[in-house]
Amino acid sequence: MLHRYVTLRLDGETYPLAGNVREIFDTLLGTSAWYLKTIGLQLVAETFAVSLFRMLAESSKDAILRQVCRRILQDEARHMGFGMLSLPAVVAEASSAERREMEDFAVWALNRTLRGIFPLAAYEDMGFDRGDIEEIKHLRRERAAGGDETAFRKYFRRDLHAGLVRNLRKVGVLTPRIEPDIAALGISLAA
Structural domain contains residue 189: no
- For the entire predicted model, the pTM comes to 0.80
| Structural domains of the chain, count | 1
Looking at residue 6, its amino acid is: V
Predicted pLDDT of residue 186: 86
- 130-144 average pLDDT score: 83
Question: CA 148 → CA 115, 153, 155, distances in Å?
Answer: 17, 10, 13
- 167-190 average pLDDT score: 93
Report the C-alpha gap between 90 and 74 in whole angstroms. Answer: 25
Range of the domain at 84: 2-184
Predicted pLDDT of residue 104: 97
For the cut 80, the answer to whether the pLDDT of residue 164 exceeds it is yes
Structural domain contains residue 170: yes
pLDDT-derived band of residue 178, with 50, 70 and 90 as boundaries?
very high
Structural domain contains residue 173: yes
pLDDT tens, residue by residue, 39-57? 998 888 888 888 888 988 9
Q: What share of the chain is helix, strand, coil (3-state, %, to 5)?
A: 75, 0, 25
Task: Give the CATH number, domain containing residue 168.
Answer: 1.10.620.20
What is the C-alpha R_g of the chain?
18
- 161-168 average pLDDT score: 92
Comparing 33-37, 90-94, 161-165, 187-191, the range with the smallest average pLDDT is 187-191
- Residues with Cβ < 8 Å from 145, sequence gap 6 or more? none
Report the C-alpha gap between 183 and 85 in whole angstroms. Answer: 26
Structural domain contains residue 190: no
